[in-house]
Amino acid sequence: MSSITIDTSASRKVRELLQFLLESGKIDAALTMRKIPENNSYDLGLITDAANLDEAVPIIPVMTVNAGQVLSSISTSGKKIAAVLKPCELRAFVELVKREQGSFENLLTISHTCGGVFSLDLVVAEKIEELLPKYEKIISKGEVPINTRDTCRACEHFIPMNADITVSVAGECESGKGCVMYLNTDKAEEFTEGFESERGELKFDPSALQKMLDTRLAEKEKLFASMTASGPGLDRLLDTFGKCVGCHGCNSVCPICYCLLCDFESANFDYNLPYFEEHLSRRGALRLPPDTIFFHLGRLTHMSFSCVGCGMCSDVCPVGIPVAAVFKKTGEKTAALFDYVPGRDVEESIPVMVYKEEELSDLG
Amino acid sequence: MKKEFTPRITSFLCKWCTYTGADLAGTARLQYPVSIIPIQVMCSSRVDPVFLIKAFLSGSDGVLIGGCHPGDCHYETGNYHARRRFAIVKSVFESLGLESDRLKLSWISASEGPKFARVANEYTEEIMKLGENPTRKSIFL
């Protein structure tokens, strides 16, 4: 497999590639982050006319929506799409494909080594361009920018798994090699054929990112330790989720929660008078809306093993519950039961769909 | 006089094995505590993790799933799936520091009336040691 040397900024090179792919008719649409000219902010755009690519900023540490979630609804259209995804977005999409909510067939996936994304508060409050130089400097040293999402700082999967094209952004640009676009699959070779660029035979070397990995693992330890600070048991549960207002925002931005009718929004959770009477007779008072903590525990058991730690849920929480950190911590344990890594391999079944006869013999 | 604590153990019992096993314990006049509150399900895999959580948060002192022995499922593989789901719930409870001992999975066949009575007795004793589930009175759940 070959590589493409990037002589300009990584983001610009990817934009040029998208331009080439659209103009040559190799793809029908490009999914990429884009600058909103009117208000200096960023969003995710689906672009079919190459003229509209001028605003595209394929590689930017901003996630307004998990692109894997968006991709699931368009990937089966039959149109050829090139999608620029952050590693966790790609992993989320893999999880969705396993659940038959999308397809790789007409998709070219472009991903990059990721330094983490800014929290949405920051994206709204500050000018991102002004933050970028410092951000790039920090990640090039293998350090972790403090203004990124807590789960980004603690994320060890910042090297894309299964991407057709990997763009090295974090780490390598400074190590002398310069930013490089690695073509990982035959599909990538085929799509980039005819793209004017300097080709090479470079191999992706994760060792350049060892320092970043070590820093992140240490950050993860710290994050997880901070969550047990308030002691075990019910009190901790109330401490963590007690502020929940029951908006279900975390559920709606979650790329894994794909169910069209979530159990928690179904008629099972229409509360009627007998429900209130029964609970009040026992407890003498009832918190409203009911079942907010139940909702989080339910989601944890339903999908935590597939959590990719993208951090969307924490970022949209109106009352600041560290949803993503709880899911990441719990999810790592539930996934480890089955030696599962979400998004690792599209051929790997989700743990609740398969079983082994000889396992978990200490139960039952 | 202080009222003695009688645990409430919500028990999801598979129709083909454990529920029938419980019936057998009854017809054989084996004693087991009143703490077991049986709910018949068609298969242990019918028990969605949220059933366990709902029972726990609503104040059940213990939650029991009873199913056929591995390999003996009436639907061939249901109990293997149930086992994985149970492991997930247990792991979530442990991660959050909740009392995972209040959850139990047990394989009891239709012919194991004595085993049903034994499990019911032993589990009730375990739960007595743990005491009342604090969720029973908590209004903020």
pLDDT of residue A126: 86
Q: What are phi and psi of A47, to 5 degrees?
A: -120, 130
CA distance A347 to chain B (A): 19
User: Considering CB atoms only, which of B87, B98, B136 is closest to A337?
Assistant: B87
CATH 1.10.260 fits B9-136, yes or no: no
Average pLDDT estimate for B65-86 = 96
User: Considering CB atoms only, which of B49, B84, B140 is closest to A238?
Assistant: B140
User: Considering CB atoms only, which of A293, A334, A364 is closest to B107?
Assistant: A364
Residues A189 and A185: their CA atoms lie apart, in Å, by 7
Contact A302/B49, CB-based, under 8 Å? yes
Confidence of residue A177 (pLDDT cuts 50, 70, 90): low
**Would you say residue A175 has pLDDT above 70?**
no
CA distance B91 to chain A (A): 6
**Would you say residue B137 has pLDDT above 90?**
no
Are the CB atoms for A294 and B141 separated by under 8 Å? yes
Local structure of residue A344 (DSSP, 8 states): S
Residues of A in contact with B61 (CB under 8 A): none
Are the CB atoms for A104 and A75 separated by under 8 Å? yes
Q: How far is CA A238 from the centre of its chain?
A: 27
Taking the domains of chain B in order of start, what are their residue ranges? 9-136
Buried b (16+ CB within 10 A) or exposed e, B31-40: ebbebbebee
pLDDT of residue B71: 93
Both tokens assigned to B25: 């314990």
Find the residue in A nearest to B85 (Cα). Answer: A352
pLDDT of residue B2: 60
Q: What are phi and psi of A43, to 5 degrees?
A: -145, 175
Strands A41-47 and A81-85: unpaired
Confidence of residue A176 (pLDDT cuts 50, 70, 90): low
Are the CB atoms for B115 and B21 separated by under 8 Å? yes
Which of A205-209, A287-291, B70-74, B81-85 has the lowest average pLDDT? Answer: A205-209
**Would you say residue A250 has pLDDT above 60?**
yes
**Would you say residue A174 has pLDDT above 60?**
no
Taking the domains of chain A in order of start, what are their residue ranges? 3-219, 231-353
Nearest partner of A114 among A169, A67, A184, A177, judged by Cα: A169
Residues A171 and A158: their CA atoms lie apart, in Å, by 11
Torsion angle defined by CA atoms of residues A344, A141, A4 and A195, in that order, rounded to the nearest 10 degrees: 90
Contact B91/A298, CB-based, under 8 Å? no
DSSP state string for A254-309: -SS---SS-GGGSGGG---HHHHHHHHHHHS---SSTTHHHHHHHHHHHHGGG---
Residues A89 and A294: their CA atoms lie apart, in Å, by 27
Find the residue in B nearest to A278 (Cα). Answer: B58
